[in-house]
Amino acid sequence: MKKYIFIILLGFASIITFSQSTITGKVSGTDGSLPGASVYLEGTYDGASTNANGEFSFRTSKTGAVFLIASFVGFEPFSRELNLTGSPVNLEIALKEAFNVLNAVTITAGTFEAGDKKRANILTPLDMVTTAGAVGDVYGALQSLPGTTTNGESGKLFVKGGDSEESQTYIDGSLVYAPYSSSAPNMSVRGRFNPFMFKGTIFSTGGYSAEYGQALSSVLLLNTNDMPTEEQLDISVMSVGLELAGTKLWKTGAATATLSYNDLGPYLLLIPQNYKWVKYPSNTEGAFSLRQKTGKTGMLKIYSSYTNSKYTINQEDLNHEGESYDYALGNDNYFLNASWKSSLGQKWNTAAAASFTNNKDDIAYDTISINKLLRGAHLKNVFTHFYNDKVTIRLGAEFFTKTYSHNYSISNNSIAKSFTNNTSSAFAETEIYVSSKLVTRVGTRFEYSDYLNKANLVPRISAAYKVSKYGQISAAYGWFYQDPTDNYLLYTNTIGYERADHYTLSYQTSKNDRTFRAEVYYKDYQSLAKITNEAFYLPTSYTNSGYGYAKGVDIFWRDKKTIKNGDYWISYSYIDTKRDYRNYPSEVVPGFASKHNFAAVYKHWFGGLRSYASANFKYSSPRVYNNPNSDVFNGEHTKAYRSVDASWSFLLRQNIILYAAVTNIFGFKQGYGNSYASIPDSQGVYRSAPITAGADRFIIVACFITLSRKGEANQIDKVE
């Protein structure tokens, strides 16, 4: 009996073995084989995982129609119907990469971004404010990036052949009408805001989103810090002044108050100066910021500041040989900024922003007094709809209002002019991820000015394609409009918007803490404002007949890997630009543009010395300037700009940092051309004087002290 049972069982086993199917194959992804992928038959336990070569093999007794499933993290599941008959099956399975916006390609044409973790950052927020030579000025740090030109006698941003007035600054989404400090002619300015209040920076040098208007050349988007982590008191003692800041926390919010006073008198007495100071520069500033959570997802931010600054300097009177006059400047600036962000369900977000600026300059020299007042406000609301993982729609509207007045008095005569311009704007934009390798952004913007009685409707489009795992190309195109300069609008509203068309193409690759970026661009300027030879106060003296172009190449390389504890970047820009605008008689190279611009920045952490050092070398080729005694307009050339800057930070204790920085260590003589008299002398010659830097070097030493409950907090983010 046992013999028969064994024969029967053997027969069943033979039947089962005979009816089994062997399924083999290989699973691969975008970049080759995928080891560890799961392959199985739906509704069964039959399956296997791929080996190191992406190969798999298993047997199944299932017959007929079944579904084979293959899956791997980060890829879309694979499914195919098989008809099993007992015959071997061999498959080549190619999985498609699943879409993930965190890993997807991003548009980088014309944009340097810091602080947004979903993107491959070129610079961190810290880099933007701690580069040697910047001396704590955001705009100074940006001048180590390609596309910018250093104008030492200005200090403002000049981007890709654009004038400084063609760049706009936004804080938390709202416009800053007066981002720079006030200054006498041919004296460098600084940014008004403490750079350490910002967590992230987006510097777009062209082809930017339809969300931003009124900027022909660039926009700088500054995002303030979120909720602080602990209460603390910060004390900053510097060679030029003092600052005290305190932070108070509660369950859903925080407030920070700051008071600072700077007086350059003691410093300027010690360091040789090229200027004749009558009253040394000083300023007092108070600031207050509030952070308050609203609901589950909302965050309200409010920032307010008031600054009073003044100085008097003695300058040569070029119109009267042997004479001079005192130039006195007083400035009062009040700024208020508020923003609120929150989600409106799972598919919608909203962001509202508002700002107010009141900036007053009181100027007196010789027998002349000038009072300038700029009062501006900006209201904005943006809605973002996440249609699905691959499509995002953004809609927004905003309102700008600006009043500018200019009161000019000489002897007993005075001229007062002012204007108010209200601009209404709206924009719509869609970002579409065709795949994780291809993204495009298409938008349009509408603007209407009641003062100019003009409207515009512009297209903006950009795209990026991932050509490899680490590299991508981006392209951007768009029209950009801006109002003419305020000094023209004081006398006329018969002219219209100025316009620039941007064409940008860039390549960027990032791997192992090394980043390379190359960009080419072309900008076509149209309808630029010009003034004729008629009297400046006649409205008919102004036209939109100006034009020009700017084209160039930007190169950027950063390496944080090769040198242990070291980090460096190199940038180079080539700019070819000409313009016929303002009072230019023909199309020529503008005086603010350098053809070649180079910067090399190096930073190093010395662990044994508890120190962080930074060095920066900058070079800009000679710029042109106009000599009214010459028949050639803009036919003269300045000296090349050269500077080697350095800074050193030492962690004395966990909460005490010593800091020192020097600009232009080797004392290169900077020359920015000449200034000329407004009238010729008896020989028909316009007298001149060289435009120089205030001093060959600037030196600052400081001590930063932080007091907190745990005693571990410090201000290392100010000096690293």
pLDDT in tens, 22-76: 899 999 987 788 888 889 888 888 889 899 889 999 988 888 889 989 888 778 8
Please say if the pLDDT value at position 102 is more than 60. Answer: no
Per-residue pLDDT of 234-244, as tens digits, reads: 898 988 899 99
Phi, psi of 270, rounded to the nearest 5 degrees: -90, -35
Per-residue pLDDT of 349-388, as tens digits, reads: 999 999 999 999 999 988 889 999 999 999 999 999 998 8
SS3 content of the chain, % helix, strand, coil (to 5): 5, 60, 35
Q: What pLDDT shows up at residue 367?
A: 86
- In whole angstroms, give the CA distance from residue 720 to residue 711: 19
Q: What pLDDT shows up at residue 111?
A: 59
Confidence of residue 17 (pLDDT cuts 50, 70, 90): very low
Percent of the chain with pLDDT over 70: 91
- In whole angstroms, give the CA distance from residue 355 to residue 375: 11
- In whole angstroms, give the CA distance from residue 282 to residue 268: 12
Strand partners, 84: 64
- In whole angstroms, give the CA distance from residue 365 to residue 158: 29
Lowest mean pLDDT among 376-380, 407-411, 572-576: 407-411
What tokens does 125 get? 């927020």
Q: End-to-end distance of the chain based on CA atoms, in angstroms?
A: 90
Per-residue pLDDT of 188-216, as tens digits, reads: 888 888 777 787 778 888 888 899 999 99
Q: What is the pTM of this model?
A: 0.84
Q: How many C-beta atoms lie closer than 10 Å to residue 623's C-beta?
A: 25
Q: What pLDDT shows up at residue 625?
A: 95
Question: If 0-12 CB within 10 Å is exposed, 13-18 middle and 19+ buried, where does residue 403 land?
Answer: middle
Q: What pLDDT shows up at residue 121?
A: 43
Please say if the pLDDT value at position 117 is more than 80. Answer: no
Strand partners, 498: 482
* 3-state secondary structure (DSSP) of residue 287: strand
Lowest mean pLDDT among 207-211, 338-342, 504-508, 684-688: 207-211
Per-residue pLDDT of 119-150, as tens digits, reads: 334 555 556 555 777 777 888 888 888 889 99
| Sequence-ordered list of residues with C-beta below 8 angstroms from that of 690, at least 6 positions apart, any chain | 671, 673, 674
Q: What pLDDT shows up at residue 339?
A: 95
- In whole angstroms, give the CA distance from residue 231 to residue 246: 8
All domains of the chain, ordered by start, with CATH? 2-94 (2.60.40.10), 111-718 (2.40.170.20)
Q: How many residues does the chain have?
A: 720
Side-by-side strand order, sheet with 111-114: 111-114, 198-204, 218-224, 167-171, 174-176
Strand partners, 442: 430, 461
Q: What pLDDT shows up at residue 130?
A: 58
Lowest mean pLDDT among 114-118, 482-486, 506-510, 667-671: 114-118
Looking at residue 679, its amino acid is: I
Q: What pLDDT shows up at residue 404?
A: 96
Lowest mean pLDDT among 63-67, 171-175, 411-415, 483-487: 411-415
Region of 161 please: left (phi>0), alpha (psi -120 to 50) or beta: left
Please say if the pLDDT value at position 719 is more than 80. Answer: no
| Sole residue written with tokens 């209002």 | 401
Confidence of residue 4 (pLDDT cuts 50, 70, 90): very low
Q: What pLDDT shows up at residue 694?
A: 86
Instruction: Give the residue from 631, 634, 604 showing the smallest Cα distance to 616.
Output: 604
Please say if the pLDDT value at position 114 is more than 70. Answer: no
